[in-house]
Amino acid sequence: MKAVSLAVLAAVIFFRPVCSLAQASPAPAATAGPAQSIPKDTPTFSAPAGWTSEPVAMAMSGFTMLSLWRAPSSLSAGDNLGLGFVATPGGTSITDVAHVIDAAYLKLFGPGNPVASHAERLCGGTADGWYFENKVAFGALNVISEQTMILGPSDMFEATYTRTSSEKEDPAARSALDTLCVKPSASPA
């Protein structure tokens, strides 16, 4: 349950500002059960060997969690990887989204809690993407969240590696973030 909570927490923090790019109406409430939407584009992501896929069905504020993986027992039980998406309006660039998220993080966490943010090549070095890393304290829980995001024509996909700050980074999990790809939906003939 701790792993699911960390993934959901990271996803909510990350996608709330991006959803404002896609919708002007108030965000829908979180739902339990089947996700509210399916992506128009198709993501691919390669979790490291030994990570266990778990069913997840969560939609919140325009964000839909598609997949969740737990770390092998040799790592912390709190380590997890997540894959989710949010619909994005046409003409949005990866840089546009990154600037919105950077500004939201600054407002949310303040200037004393810097966020690492930079362009990064994803999908085996074939696609433009963006990387974020932030350290967030929620009471006694200190979390490190590393995220990569990539845009398709209709959707933005995000892969997140979340762990407690007391755990060392798993290099295989970090490398997995860069496997994130998107296959655009087929256009009608």
pLDDT in tens, 20-46: 444 333 333 333 444 447 788 899 999
- The DSSP symbol for 126 reads T
- List all residues 6 or more positions away from 47 whose beta carbon is below 8 Å from its beta carbon: 53, 69, 81, 176
Cβ proximity of 14 and 84 under 8 Å: no
Distance CA 50, CA 70 (A): 9
Mean pLDDT for the chain? 78
Task: Fill in the amino acid letter for 33.
Answer: G
CATH number of the domain at 2-183, please?
3.40.1000.10
Cβ proximity of 158 and 83 under 8 Å: yes
Distance CA 28, CA 63 (A): 10
**Residue 136: pLDDT band with limits 50, 70, 90:** confident
- The DSSP symbol for 97 reads H
User: What does the pLDDT read at residue 2?
Assistant: 45
User: What does the pLDDT read at residue 11?
Assistant: 46
Q: How many CA atoms lie within 13 A of 176 on its CB side?
A: 25
Q: Is the pLDDT confidence value at 161 over 90?
A: yes
Choose the most confident range, by mean pLDDT, from 41-50, 70-79, 138-147: 41-50
Q: Which residue has the tokens 């303040």?
A: 110
Q: Is the pLDDT confidence value at 186 over 70?
A: no
User: What does the pLDDT read at residue 63?
Assistant: 86
SS3 30: coil
Distance CA 164, CA 144 (A): 6
Cβ proximity of 2 and 167 under 8 Å: no
Q: Is the pLDDT confidence value at 14 over 60?
A: no
Distance CA 57, CA 99 (A): 29
